[in-house]
A and B are shown apart, each in its own frame.
Chain A
Amino acid sequence: MISPEDITVSQFKSPQEFTGFQCEKKDYSDFVRNPDEAQKYQEENLGVTHVFKYKGYPVGFVTLAMGSLRKARMSEERQQQKPGLRDVPSLLLGHWARDSRWRTKGVGKIMMAWVLAKAAETGKQIGCRYIILDSDPEMVEHYRKWYKFEVIPPSKQDRKRRQSLMFFDLGLRGS
C-alpha cells in the first residue's frame, strides 16, 4: 500500500506528463494525453485536473469543476407560483482515473481523500453542499463501498443514458 506521504499532487501541466499512463478506460488516458482535452479545458478554466504522483510518476488524476444541482426548468408562470430554491452549489468530480498498474495500492483512497478535503475546505469559503459524480453503472458499488457516495434515485433519462448520478454530502457548516 502507498502511504499518503509518498504522494504529491500538482495541477496538470501538459500531456507529456502522462506518457506511459495506462488505465482501464482508454477515454480517460486520452483525456489527459490529447492536447485538445484536459489541457484545453484547463486553459479555458472550465475544469482543473490535479495529478497525483508517486516518485514523480503520475499514478492518477482527478478533474474538478464548479457545478450545481439544478431543478428541471419550469415555466415562468409556475416559477412565480412556486418560488424557492432551484439550485444547490456543488463540486463536480468530472474525471477520475488511476494507472491500472497501481490498482489495489490505495491510490484511489488517497485521491478521493484529497478531493473530499478540498471540497470541504472550499465549502468554508464558497457555498458548496455536495460533491457530484456521474458514475458508470459498474462503478456505483465501488464509490458507495469505499467512499460512502450515495446514488440519486435515477430518472428515466439516467436509465436511458446508463449513468448514475452520485453524491457526497458535505453537511452543515460546523458539523
Chain B
Amino acid sequence: MEDRRLLPKPIPVLTDEQWNFMAQRLDKPAPPEMQEELKQAVDIAKRIREE
C-alpha cells in the first residue's frame, strides 16, 4: 500500500478495560444529557438545507 496522509485514521482497537466501559452501556439508554443534545440537534438539522 502506498504511503498516504489520508485521514481520518481508523478507530484504534480497545483494550479490555475500554471495551468493558463501552459494552456495559449497550443495554442502557443514552445518558439524559446526550438524549437532550440529540433532540436539539435533530431540530436544528431540520432547518439546514441539504443540496
A contacts, CB < 8 Å to B: 3-5, 7-10, 27, 31, 34, 36-37, 40-41, 46-47, 52, 63, 65, 67-73, 85, 88, 90, 92-95, 109-110, 112-118, 120, 129-130, 132, 134, 147-148, 150, 152-153, 155, 157-158, 165, 167-172, 175
> What's the Cα separation between A2 and B26 when bound, in Å?
36
A172 touches B22 (CB 8 A): no
Top 6 A-B residue pairs of the complex, sorted by shortest distance between their CB atoms: A94-B8, A171-B30, A117-B45, A113-B44, A4-B47, A116-B41
- Chain A residues near B49 (CB-CB < 8 A): 5, 7-9
Dominant secondary structure of chain A at its interface with chain B: mixed
A70 touches B13 (CB 8 A): yes
B38 touches A37 (CB 8 A): no
B21 touches A152 (CB 8 A): yes
B29 touches A112 (CB 8 A): no
Q: Which interface class (under 10, 10 to 19, 20 to 34, 35 or more) fits B?
A: 35 or more
CB A53 to nearest CB in B, in angstroms, measures 8
A92 touches B45 (CB 8 A): no
A71 touches B14 (CB 8 A): yes
- Chain A residues near B19 (CB-CB < 8 A): 69, 71-72
Interface presence of B1 (CB below 8 A): no
Partner of A120 from B28, B42, B47, B48 at Cβ < 8 Å: B42
- Chain B residues near A170 (CB-CB < 8 A): 30, 38
Closest to B22 in A: A69
Partner of B14 from A7, A110, A152 at Cβ < 8 Å: A152
